[in-house]
Structure 1
Amino acid sequence: MSEAETGTETKGETGTETEHGAESEADGDLRRVGANPDFWYPVALARRVRPMRVVAAVFADQRIALYRGRSGAVHALEDRCAHRQVPLSMGVVEGDTLRCCYHAWAYRGDGRISQIPYLSKGDGRPPRGVRGYPVREAYGLVFVFPGDPEKAEDTPLPELPAFSSTTYKTMTFSRTVRCHYSFMHENLLDMNHQFLHRGVVGKLHPQLLGYETSPRSVEARYLFTHAGGKRNPGAGLLAAEGIRGGDSADVMTIRTEYPYQTLDLVPENADHPAFRLWAVYVPVDAEQRTCHAYGLLMIEKPRVSAALQLAWPLIRRFTERVFAEDRKAVEAEQRAWEEQGEDRNHEVFPLILDVRKVLRTNGVPVRGRR
């Protein structure tokens, strides 16, 4: 099948200038484009939604109450009582129903009212209830479908075979970042920012080998070589190079498959990834200027399984430091956008121009605060 038939375009080391060259005003401000709600988004760590407990969650200012009933299933309801608008996340779980803390109205897992304690039959017509969200539990996360519920069944969850593989162990991340989610996509996909991490990775030289684009995705391949400088021990352990690291060349493949991102690192002379990262950035507020980043870092287990357990704290410390540096940069970008009132970035990297196009065309208008 040709590239034209698949809608995929392959580009060389520096891509092509294409017809856009630089973005125009007609393209619209990407930071005013909202995340498309017609996908599955994680809104909580599964372990936080304990049996017979309620947890408050959110997607782009849609307040959601998560609760796990006696059956063990997780339910997701609009976080407001239909009676007096008190948050249901303040409520009490009884069996598989959620009871409001104020007047004890009881809700089923689909959001319908099952009981109003003080209302006798025939004393009035109670409201229908509140919105119930499609919900699934996978990969240690609770996913909800905040968009059209009729599309939920035909929309697949992301496929992460490495998560359940016995050859990988997963490290989970959950962090709030005060920026538009598009800054996060650009940050991970554009590996030319390694100077930012010079204190933890030393002198890394990324070379773009090429990339492919389609209406919903951008995939880039980089060759990474270490050119000296002090390197954090966790970096070498994560790349399966040992605690002292090395000067080997690694191939990194990064993909934005809307709305998710993945990163695979294959060390030199290896035929499979030393680690695989899956990430998604869930908007929090109505203007979507804050997002919550969820990440699953799946690390290959060495022959001696105890070695990874010993290395785990070093790897965690390294990844947390890299993420902290990235967060500092993208939050600075967001502050500049707010101060200037528009996106004045002068992007010159064709790869990032293409991922911006993917995010813009697959997104939806930000609805703002109601």
Structure 2
Amino acid sequence: MTGIESAGGVGPGAQAGVGGPAVEFDAPRADLRRVGIGRDFWYPVAVSGSVRKGKVFATSFAGERIALYRGESGGVHALEDRCAHRQVPLSMGVVEGDALRCAYHAWAYRGDGRVSQIPYLSRECARPPRGVRAFPVREAYGLVFVHPGDPALAEATPLPELPLLGSPRYTTMTFSRTVRCHYSFMHENLLDMNHQFLHRGVVGRLRPELLGHRSDAVSAEARYLFTHDGGRRDRGAGLLAGEGVGRGGSADVMTIRTEYPYQRLELVPQGAQRPALSLWAVYVPEDAEQRTCHAYGLLTIEKPRVPGLLRMGWPLIRRFTERVFAEDRAVVEAEQRAWQEQGEDRNHEVFPVVLDVRRVLRANGVPIRPARPATADLVH
């Protein structure tokens, strides 16, 4: 494969988010750490198990606070996290049937965000607002996804496809962690496997060789040949890749791809016909300035031939992945601090794979919108 530079010009980020004014946005030259994530996609904002029946869960997307609640019928609803009455967070509220009632004056909201009841409303009261914004919401892969962009586009926008999650040959581990950095640092970290020196105490002497890379307007991909030359390594490393990474002298092919806005990693051991593991990840901005993101990951691992072996080794695998992630988190958060101290991106990048993914993230991003008041209440 050869590197293909994506076309220049302003991509989907030429305008601010839904309902916002047009913004002058020169994507090819923009400081990437000031580029906001594209909104017209499905983003996980919670692990499904965190949104229990009859309970409310507070989350956010790029500074927009969201109240998730699971009604009596079992479905999850996503509302703007404020009561249209006194702006008290709806995440403080109470679930009654399939409605969410504000904890302050007991205004009740349906799943579509409309006010369904005001207990003390009479003819003497002023005309109330209709409600608050409701986000399109779907559950899949053990995660709760919302569509924070144009709601008219939600139905036609596909969820990410993860075929291995439905295969009886594989089992899945879910990750959900907050990382104090711009989401772009996470994309660069995973695609650039030249940083294995960082993990030397966990994986030993792991040598990556770039086999090829390519990119287009919405994706960047890199393929590496990994050779393990020995050295002390975590016991979970070998279990994670089955008979692949972990054996002295073994060689395995790893393919990593950013397909905006998601990332996927697959590792195929030498001589194997299918992946030993596959990682799907997305980094969802939490704050309005997008300097903090929430990393959601689904690590799908091939079951070994020996029944029960994976279950026995599961704690070792989780410990290994947590150690690697902790080291990655420490360096990307250090990169974010440097950017904030310097007030600009002073990186001098030379690796073509990182340059590829930076072009993709710029072209598909939007301007970061400053923190602003909540959207106007729905009115009659």
The TM-score by the shorter chain falls in which range? Answer: over 0.9
Q: Which residue, out of 39, 43, 50, partners 2:52?
A: 50
8 Å Cα contact 1:178/1:334 also seen in 2 = yes
Separation (CA, whole Å) in 2 of partners of 1:19 and 1:367: 25
8 Å Cα contact 1:16/1:350 also seen in 2 = no
Distance 1:215 1:207, change over 3 A: same
Paired position in structure 2 for 1:247:
249
Shift of 1:123: 4.0
The residue type equivalent to 1:232 in the other structure is: D
**1:118 matched to 2:102:** no
Distance 1:242 1:353, change over 3 A: closer
Paired position in structure 2 for 1:73:
75
- Output one character per residue of 1:68-99: Cα deviation in whole Å (capped at 9) or x when no partner: 00000000000000000000000000000000
Paired position in structure 2 for 1:278:
280
Shift of 1:247: 2.3
Q: How many residues matched?
A: 355
Aligned-residue identity in percent: 74
8 Å Cα contact 2:110/2:116 also seen in 1 = yes
Paired position in structure 2 for 1:177:
179
Distance 1:244 1:31, change over 3 A: closer
8 Å Cα contact 2:174/2:298 also seen in 1 = yes
Runs ≥4 residues deviating over 6 A:
16-20
Q: Which runs of 5+ in 1 are unaligned?
A: 1-9
Shift of 1:241: 2.3
Paired position in structure 2 for 1:28:
30
Moved more, 299-308 or 141-150: 299-308
Paired position in structure 1 for 2:368:
366
**1:342 matched to 2:323:** no
Paired position in structure 1 for 2:302:
300
Separation (CA, whole Å) in 1 of partners of 2:116 and 2:258: 43
Shift of 1:19: 10
8 Å Cα contact 2:279/2:300 also seen in 1 = yes
TM-score (normalizing by structure 2): 0.90
- Output one character per residue of 1:299-358: Cα deviation in whole Å (capped at 9) or x when no partner: 001122300000100000000000000000000000000000000000001111110000
Q: Which residue, out of 186, 200, 203, partners 1:198?
A: 200
Separation (CA, whole Å) in 2 of partners of 1:308 and 1:293: 25
8 Å Cα contact 2:244/2:250 also seen in 1 = no
Shift of 1:128: 1.2
Secondary structure of residue in 2 paired with 1:75: strand
8 Å Cα contact 1:17/1:350 also seen in 2 = no
**1:38 matched to 2:27:** no
Paired position in structure 1 for 2:130:
128
The residue type equivalent to 1:295 in the other structure is: G
Q: Which runs of 5+ in 2 are unaligned?
A: 9-25, 373-380
Separation (CA, whole Å) in 1 of partners of 2:124 and 2:27: 60
Secondary structure of residue in 2 paired with 1:133: coil
8 Å Cα contact 1:207/1:223 also seen in 2 = yes
Separation (CA, whole Å) in 1 of partners of 2:244 and 2:193: 23
Secondary structure of residue in 2 paired with 1:331: helix
Residue correspondence of structure 1 range 83-162 to structure 2 within 5 A: 83-120=85-122, 123-162=125-164
Secondary structure of residue in 2 paired with 1:132: coil
Structure number with the bigger relative contact order (C-alpha 8 A, sep ≥ 6) is: 2
- Output one character per residue of 1:116-159: Cα deviation in whole Å (capped at 9) or x when no partner: 00002574321010000000000000000011100100100000
The residue type equivalent to 2:31 in the other structure is: D
Shift of 1:163: 1.0
Secondary structure of residue in 1 paired with 2:356: helix
Q: Which residue, out of 226, 229, 249, partners 2:228?
A: 226
Shift of 1:107: 0.2
Secondary structure of residue in 2 paired with 1:305: coil
8 Å Cα contact 1:237/1:245 also seen in 2 = no
Separation (CA, whole Å) in 2 of partners of 1:213 and 1:16: 5
Shift of 1:245: 3.4
8 Å Cα contact 1:177/1:293 also seen in 2 = yes
Separation (CA, whole Å) in 1 of partners of 2:126 and 2:200: 68
Root mean square deviation, CA, Å: 1.8
Paired position in structure 2 for 1:5:
none
Separation (CA, whole Å) in 2 of partners of 1:19 and 1:355: 13
Distance 1:128 1:263, change over 3 A: same
Secondary structure of residue in 1 paired with 2:41: coil
Separation (CA, whole Å) in 2 of partners of 1:146 and 1:19: 27
